[in-house]
Chains A and B, each alone.
Chain A
Amino acid sequence: MSRKEEFNFKIIIIIIIVIFISLSLRLIQLQLLTGKNYLTEAEDNILRRSFTKAARGLIFDCKGNILVNNKPSFLLTITPAKLKNKEKTYGIIEKIICMSNKEIEEKILYSPYPLFTPVEIKHDLSFQTVAEITELLPDLEGVSIETEPIRNYPMNNLASHVLGYVGLITEEELKKSGEQFQPWEIIGKDGIELYYDSYLRGKQGIKEMEINAGGKIVKILGETVPIGGNNLYLTIDTGLQLICEQALEVMLKKLAGETGDTKGGAVVALCPKTGEVLALCSKPDFNPNLFSTGISQKDYEELISNNWKPMFNRSLAGLYPPASTFKIVTGSASLEEHLASSWTTFNCPGFIKVEEQIFNCDLKTGHGQIDFIHAISKSCDVVFYELGMDLGLEKIRYYADEFNIGKKTGIDLPGENPGLLPSGEWKKKELKEDWYIGDTVNLSIGQGYLLTTPLQMAVATSILANDGTFYPPHIVQKIESETGEIIYEYKPKNIRSINVAKENLEAIKKGMAMAVTEGTASEAGIKDLKIAGKTGTAENVPTPENPEGENHTWFIAFAPADNPEIVISVFLEQAGGYAGKTAVPLGREILKNYFNLKNKNE
């Protein structure tokens, strides 16, 4: 070869060497550096996992009536890899299922599945829709109709705050749970559905298969059968729950008048001997069925825009001053501390003056000479101002704590608020002020900084009613597996007796009985039924949420007074007026219907 040819030859050699090196480097990159990822992708390709959803456990009331179950429903799925003509297919189905092209595409894009698994496009299809789609199925490659169980609340709004609702797990919830959940699982979001989610959720069945590129199953590698969720038996009495909710609704409508705002309220009913929660309601409420397949934008907006917060469970999360209902604590404390006895007489001029500040009695003209029992019956503030001052903050706090005020009751529902039992340190820390004697005065009649939930007041009343034993309130009595095996049965625990003598509690009870026969709760009187109760009217300063500064009203009661079967705590938010005309008649309605129902059934 000539010199030039030699040179060119060498260049050719170099180019060839570069080619081989490049190919080798790329192989190093693919197989050695990122090979593991590709292995995972390879397995993803050929391993198909199909899940059979497990049925979520059922929820029953105390008599075995169904409160929550599952109903079969139809859903539309699309398997992206099987779609032959995307545009045409979308065009056909979008009119029938009322979803735009873009919405369908989005669902597929956000699906965490690989391309060969069906993506859920629309749930809860009507029979009409199913019929229409089924007719067209031969032209709709990749589209399929499947059945799934969806959560069903046959009683709609009834006990919605107790039961809660379910929904698709969100990204944050996924992250928080660790690796427990799959991205498409339905979990409880509130109430019993949330609190007992791990019991209610079953275990999905998994089928592992090896498939080829055509999606054809080549081999089944393994299969597990789905395990249904456990069934819950609640302490809730549906009959009573209905009574409470209806009575509360009627009263709220009445208070709203012709054009006014229907405000909010709560009712809690306990069995004093066991702590069973017989009824628990909060109004306004919501329909959990709306959430079962994902709440629509419209429904969500409606719930959010209601100022009275239908999703908010007032009974255990709402914080309000208990007002005169707190006198059962102040009263018990005074008796126990020997600052008074049931026949001690006081003088009520209608007000007291403490350090230049005037505190009025609820009867501005004064009750005059009044004994301890009548002071409870008539709810004389002056008597309790004096008792409170004699007790002092620390003693009041001690006995309030005994009655489980200022801390959680431990009920098996999410979202319970412990309330606020103020102290000197608390005030210093939060309000940068010292505790004034005036604060104690307010505290003695359940106003000032003290905040409780309707549930706490029910529990306090319950402690009183059963002569001083705290039974933690509970809603779930029994849990059974899908085969009937008992997984859990409520056993009483954390029971304690309070440090107040039985006689002292009896005295308070006597005062409460008198309140119903002749005192502030006289509207509660029912023939042939001895009821004991205490009213409470909380005065409020005007705030943005309460621009008129309307009173809250309370009524706590138990019946029959000498051998209580039921304790109720009734609360009306910003009801205005006095408890005697609002919360008390509501309580009466509830107790009347409850005992009628009971007598009918016996």
Chain B
Amino acid sequence: MNKFLKNFDLTLFITVIMAILFGIIMIYSASYRENGLPSEVRRQLIFFVMGLILMGIMIAIDYEFWGKMRVHLYIFTIILLIFVLLKGDIIRGAQSWITLGPLGRFQPSELAKLALIITLAQTISNNKKNINNVKALLKIGLHIGFPIILILIQPDLGTALVLVAITFTMLFWSGINPFYLIGLIILGGGITPFVLHEYQWKRLTIFLNPEKDPTGDGWNIIQSKIAIGSGQLSGKGLLNGTQCQLDFVPEHSTDFIFSVIGEELGFIGCILCLAVFFIIIWRCLSIARNSKDSQGTLIALGVTAMIIFHITVNVGMTIGIMPITGIPLPFISIGGSSLITNLMATGLLLNIKLRSKKTLFS
């Protein structure tokens, strides 16, 4: 038991729980003036509990098991992604949702992220020695490229980009020639304006000058900046966020929850929130560093990349330095699929740490 506790990353566990509870408080405040108040908080709590159970399962199962099951995982993911394209619900312009009757809706792409982290980690790990070999790169590229394209068709640009970030991080650590990555970024950046619709491109780049369309695409960013900026040092106080609660910042429970934090808790609240995230990331990196094999490291790095990308893009969007991409804030934004996925990822990481000393379950 002691050995268990020694290798159980309590810090990670506690900070994740703290973040989720903090998120629930902020959701409560954000929806305070709305009629749907109890239901939003209630749903997040339900998903929290579900996520905890699933996290427990992930802690218990050896991550190597998932590695061995990677083919099954991969096929299952692809089937889900194709299914959602054929039969999924379109919500907010993206065909990303599957309804499970009374259980509500879930987003397969969220789960896909975790599944693909595992399968990709294994794939890269198998090709580590000749990672810069064209054949190896092609294998990896096809492996992750196919699901990315399926996700782009929905269209869910945000999730696709997360997968790209995860892939790049794993490849980078594995020793890929960095110029390949830079080249891909430039290529991707160059193609994007031609591949996207006019309105999509506009929505993507409006963050550079939101005043150009203050009542349309720029509205969210301008209002979010106002909300956060007006919080100044210590915020307007919990439940007192006028901008968010009076609907000036839309999506304030989901994508723009950080605006609520900024407005109601001020700079102090924001920095504390970032500090909590920093601790989580630090623990993820520590687990990656001390993993017993490269597969564990790769999975941990993948999860790290996923979380940090979400944080950067989501917070960056609310403060006007990142484009709007509909990516939620981990553990804090409302969203069952996201919460469950992140909790399962946490469980996976905790397992990696538990297995990092071979002496534990011999």
Q: Which residues of A contact B (CB under 8 A)?
A: 1-2, 4-5, 8-9, 11-13, 16, 19-20, 22-24, 26-28, 30-32, 34-39, 41-43, 45-46, 80-81, 115, 210-214, 218
Chain A CB within 8 A of B203 CB: no
Q: Check B248 against A31 for contact (C-beta < 8 Å).
A: no
| Given A42-B242, A46-B242, A46-B248, A16 contacting B232 (CB threshold 8 A) | no
Establish whether residues B274 and A38, one from each chain, have CB atoms under 8 Å apart when the complex forms. Answer: no
Interface residues of B (CB under 8 A from A): 169, 172-175, 214-215, 223, 225-233, 242-243, 246-248, 250, 262-263, 266-267, 270-271, 274, 277-278, 281, 285, 288-289, 294, 297, 301, 304, 308, 311-312, 315-316, 319-321
Identify which of B243, B270, B277 contacts A27 (C-beta below 8 A): B270
User: Given A23-B274, A27-B270, A27-B271, are A5 and B232 also a contact pair (CB < 8 Å)?
Assistant: no
- Subset of 9 A-B contacts with CB under 8 Å: A9-B288, A12-B169, A12-B285, A13-B285, A23-B316, A31-B229, A35-B233, A37-B229, A46-B246
- In the assembly, what is the distance between CA of A211 and CA of B321, in Å? 28
B285 touching A45, Cβ below 8 Å? no
Chain B residues whose C-beta falls within 8 Å of the C-beta of A42 in the assembled complex: 226-227, 229-230, 242-243, 263
- A residues in contact with B230, CB < 8 Å: 35, 38-39, 41-43
Q: Hey, which chain A residues are within 8 Å of B320, CB to CB?
A: 26, 30
Closest to A33 in B: B229
Contacts of B315 in A (CB 8 A): 23
Chain A binding surface, main DSSP class: helix
Chain A residues positioned under 8 Å from B277 (CB to CB) = 20
Tell me the complex Cα distance, A37–B319, Å: 15
**Do A41 and B226 form a contact, CB below 8 Å, given A24-B271, A211-B246, A213-B248?**
yes
Q: Which 6 A-B pairs have the closest CB atoms?
A: A38-B229, A35-B232, A213-B247, A42-B230, A212-B246, A39-B230
For the A-B complex, the count of residue pairs with Cβ-Cβ distances under 8 Å equals 129
For A80, give the chain B residue with the smallest CB separation.
B215
- With both beta carbons as reference points, the residue of chain A lying nearest to B289 in the complex is identified as A9
Q: A19 near B228 (CB under 8 angstroms)?
A: no
In the complex, chain B residues whose CB is within 8 Å of the CB of A210? 242, 246
In the complex, chain A residues whose CB is within 8 Å of the CB of B288: 9
- A19 CB to closest chain B CB, in angstroms? 5
Consensus secondary structure, chain B interface: helix
Inter-chain contacts of B233 with A (CB < 8 A)? 31-32, 35
Closest to B288 in A: A9
CB distance from A43 to the nearest CB of B (A): 8
What residues of chain B lie closer than 8 Å to A218, measured between beta carbons? 246
New A-B pairs, 8, CB < 8 Å, besides A23-B315, A46-B246: A8-B174, A9-B289, A12-B173, A16-B308, A26-B321, A42-B242, A212-B246, A214-B247
- Chain A hits for B308, CB < 8 A: 16, 19
Are B281 and A16 neighbours in the complex by a CB distance under 8 Å? yes
Please judge, given known A-B contacts A13-B285, A24-B274, whether A36 and B169 are in contact too, CB under 8 Å: no
Most chain B beta-carbon neighbours within 10 Å: one of A36, A42, A213, A214:
A42
**Considering the chains assembled together, what is the distance between the CA atoms of A212 and B223 in angstroms?**
12
Shortest Cβ gap from B58 to chain A (Å): 24
- Judge whether A212 and B248 touch: CB under 8 Å: yes
A85 to chain B, nearest CB (A): 13
Collect the chain B residues with CB atoms within 8 Å of residue A26's CB. Answer: 316, 319-321
Which residues from B are CB-within-8-Å of A41?
226, 229-230
- In the complex, the answer to whether A5 meets B229 with C-beta atoms within 8 Å is no
Identify the closest chain B residue to A45 (Cβ).
B248
Q: Is the Cβ of A9 less than 8 Å from the Cβ of B173?
A: yes
Asked if residues A30 and B246 are in contact (CB atoms below 8 Å), the reply is no
How far apart sit A213 and B285, CA to CA, in the bound complex (Å)? 42
Q: Are B226 and A35 in contact (CB under 8 A)?
A: no
- CA gap between A38 and B267 in the complex, in Å: 13
Bound state CA distance, A585 and B316, in angstroms? 87
Bound Cα distance A42, B301 (Å): 40
Q: Which residues of B contact A27 (CB under 8 A)?
A: 228, 262, 267, 270-271, 274, 319
Q: Shortest Cβ distance from B184 into chain A, in angstroms?
A: 17
Residues of A within 8 A of B226 (CB): 38, 41-42, 45
Chain A proximity of B153: nearest CB distance (Å)? 30
Are B173 and A8 in contact, with the CB atoms below 8 A? yes
Given A4-B175, A37-B229, A41-B230: A30 touches B243 (CB 8 Å cut-off): no
Provide the residues of chain A in CB contact with B175, threshold 8 Å: 2, 4-5, 8
Q: Given A20, A36, A211, A214, which contacts B278 in the complex, CB threshold below 8 Å?
A: A20
- Chain A nearest CB from B308 CB (Å) reads 6
A332 to B263, CA, bound (A): 83
Complex contact A45–B319 (CB within 8 A): no
- Cα(A452)–Cα(B170), bound, Å: 96
Structural contact, A1 and B248, CB atoms closer than 8 A:
no
- Give Cα distance in the complex from A1 to B293, angstroms: 9
Assembled-state Cα–Cα distance A54/B267 (Å): 44
What residue of chain A has the Cβ atom nearest to residue B173's Cβ? Answer: A8
How far, in angstroms, from A36 to B304 measured CA to CA in the complex? 36
Q: Which residues of A contact B174 (CB under 8 A)?
A: 5, 8
When C-beta atoms are compared, the residue in chain A nearest to B169 turns out to be: A12
- The reply to whether A45 and B243 form a contact with Cβ atoms under 8 Å apart is yes
Residue of B nearest to A19 (CB): B312
What residues on B are CB-neighbors of A39 within 8 Å?
229-230, 232
Given A23-B312, A27-B267, A27-B270 in contact, is the A12-B172 Cβ separation under 8 Å? Answer: yes
Compute how far the CA of A2 lies from the CA of B271 in the bound complex, rounded to whole angstroms: 35
Residues of B within 8 A of A4 (CB): 175
Residues of A within 8 A of B169 (CB): 12
By a CB distance below 8 angstroms, the chain A residues around B250 are 213
| A213 & B229 in contact (Cβ 8 Å cutoff) | no
Write the nearest CB–CB distance from B185 to chain A, whole angstroms. Answer: 14
CA distance A8 to B301 in the complex (A): 12
Most B C-beta atoms less than 10 A away, residue of A19, A24, A31, A35? A31
Contact yes or no, A45 B223, CB < 8 A: yes
Tell me, in angstroms, the Cα distance from A38 to B294 when the chains sit together: 48
Cα–Cα, bound, A212→B315 (Å): 24
How many whole Å from A13's CB to the nearest CB in chain B?
6
Taken together as a complex, chains A and B put the C-alpha atoms of A28 and B321 apart, in Å, by 13
Residue of B nearest to A40 (CB): B230
Once A27-B271, A30-B225, A36-B232 are accepted as A-B contacts, the answer to whether A12 and B246 lie under 8 Å apart by CB is: no
Shortest distance between the CB of A410 and any CB in chain B (Å): 54
With A8-B175, A30-B228 known as contacts, the answer to whether A20 contacts B274 (CB < 8 A) is: yes
Tell which of A34, A212, A214 touches B229, judged by Cβ atoms closer than 8 Å: A34
